[in-house]
Amino acid sequence: MPRIWISLGSSIDRERHIRAALHDLQAAFGALSISRVYESEAVGFAGDPFYNAVVGADTQLPVAALLQLFRAIEAAHGRTRERGRFAARTLDIDLLTYGEQVVDVAGVHLPRDEITRYAFVLLPLSELAGDSRHPQLGATYRELWRRFDQSTQALWPVPFDTGA
């Protein structure tokens, strides 16, 4: 059964939406691995800070079904896409990896390039799956975090009871 890694983000009513996402993902997958929750500044646009986390789950669902599920969860919690990719949002759920596979489905390439571009994705992923290897780069997520220019994107853990 493939292990998937999922990133969560919210900049609107952050705590409520991250909790709601965790609840819905647990209902869909059962047991989850959940990183610490981090706060970070908006990247790519001027906006309120985000809460971010990474979640791991095991699933037999195909990638296309996962993408549909994540869109449905986002929509159920008020996510709209009219303002474009770089905008405040109630909830952002992105599939980062699907096992060790390199996949292109519905315009989504896995593993997501966000893994190596954004500290708020790579740091929590490295904490949960530090010894796992990036399917294309071959380096572990811990190694990738050590090499990441951490001066470019500030983030910090926040007190957050995930209920796990």
Q: Give a yes or no: residue 96 inside a domain.
A: yes
pTM of the model: 0.92
Assess contact for 52 and 9: CB atoms under 8 A.
yes
Q: Give a yes or no: residue 164 inside a domain.
A: no
Please tell me the total count of domains within the chain: 1
Task: Please provide residue 133's backbone torsions phi and psi, each rounded to the nearest 5 degrees.
Answer: -105, 140
Q: Give a yes or no: residue 125 inside a domain.
A: yes
Domain with 37 in it: 3-157
Describe the crossing of helices 14-29 and 63-76 by its angle, rounded to 10 degrees. Answer: 140
pLDDT digits (tens, 9 = 90+) for 69-97: 999 999 898 766 566 555 567 899 999 99
Parallel, antiparallel or unpaired: strands 103-105 and 92-98: unpaired
**Average of pLDDT values for 9-19?**
94
**Average of pLDDT values for 126-154?**
95
Half-sphere exposure of 163 (CA within 13 A, CB side): 12
- Looking at the chain, the whole-number percentage of residues with pLDDT higher than 90 is 79
Assess contact for 105 and 25: CB atoms under 8 A.
no
Q: Give a yes or no: residue 95 inside a domain.
A: yes
Q: Give a yes or no: residue 162 inside a domain.
A: no
User: Distance between CA 66 and CA 58 in Å, rounded?
Assistant: 12
CATH of the domain at 108: 3.30.70.560
